Amino acid sequence: MDCCDCEIKDQSVCCALDPDELDALERIGRSQGYPAKSTIFEQGREAGFVYNLTAGALRLSKLLPDGRRQVVGFAMPGDFLGLDFEPNHSYTADALTPAKLCQFSRVGFSDMLDDKPRLLRRLMAMASHELALAQEQMVVLGRRTAEEKIAAFLVGMRKRYARIHGPSVHVPLPMTRLDIGDYLGLTVETVSRMMTRMAREKTIVIVPDGVRLLDVPRLERLAEV
């Protein structure tokens, strides 16, 4: 694992560390690749590691008591997983695409936090951001129409990709429409119908790996950004 050459270092928790601290982080971690459709960790299993996603995309989901699956989020490069430090994983993380993660033992990472206050502050900022996203998702699932939910999702994904690659009207969507529906509280049929309508109205163009946004202002108005 070479932290200094990491392409998303400036967008991840590692940006809070100086070169010597990055060296210390390298010593307690390792880089691991995962093929698409593989499981990184599973809900209910012992959580012995924390993870920094450096490439690819993950689906985060919870198994409900009645056996249904609920998609609770999607992880993108720069996202850190396992910050809650619960003894067992509270959700399952599956690779939507080939993915690469840096994984650190919880014990070693916790010890490092005691010695690196800047790292702790960065983690607290990331946790605060995750809380804000969760609150925003509650609004999305609440009183918004299906069209507004889809618009908010596309605008949100565009922002997340912009953080890594810079602004673009091309938004890759590695997840299925079923995944999007589970996340937004919509049926897959509704997701397909809304996206087809947006394409017909020339708000988006559906491309093989996602969508291209033709009318960003309209999407932002629908998303109430």
- On average, the pLDDT of the chain sits at 86
Please tell me the distance from the alpha carbon of residue 76 to that of residue 8, in angstroms, as a whole number: 11
Please tell me the distance from the alpha carbon of residue 162 to that of residue 165, in angstroms, as a whole number: 5
Q: What pLDDT is stored for residue 42 in this prediction?
A: 96
80 pLDDT tier (thresholds 50, 70, 90):
confident
Half-sphere exposure of residue 111, counting CA atoms within 13 Å on the CB side?
Answer: 9
Of 65, 192, 80, nearest to 128 by C-alpha is 80
* Alpha carbon distances (Å) from 121 to 21, 79, 81, 115, 164: 14, 16, 16, 12, 21
pTM of the complete model: 0.86
Question: Which CATH number is 3-138's, of 2.60.40.1510, 2.60.120.10, 1.20.1730.10, 3.90.950.20?
Answer: 2.60.120.10
Q: Which two tokens stand for residue 2?
A: 């070479």
15 pLDDT tier (thresholds 50, 70, 90):
low
Please tell me the distance from the alpha carbon of residue 174 to that of residue 136, in angstroms, as a whole number: 22
Q: Which two tokens stand for residue 26?
A: 């390298």
**Tens of pLDDT along 148-197?**
999 999 999 999 999 888 889 999 999 999 999 999 999 999 999 999 99
Fold agreement (3-138, 145-223): no
Question: Which CATH number is 145-223's, of 2.40.128.20, 3.40.50.720, 1.10.10.10, 2.30.42.10?
Answer: 1.10.10.10
**Tens of pLDDT along 107-125?**
888 787 777 776 666 666 6
Report the phi/psi class of residue 207: left, alpha or beta, with left for phi > 0 and alpha for psi in -120 to 50. beta
Q: What pLDDT is stored for residue 73 in this prediction?
A: 92
- Domains of the chain, by residue range, sit at 3-138, 145-223
Residue 203, pLDDT > 80, answer yes
**Tens of pLDDT along 34-69?**
999 999 999 999 999 989 999 999 999 999 999 889
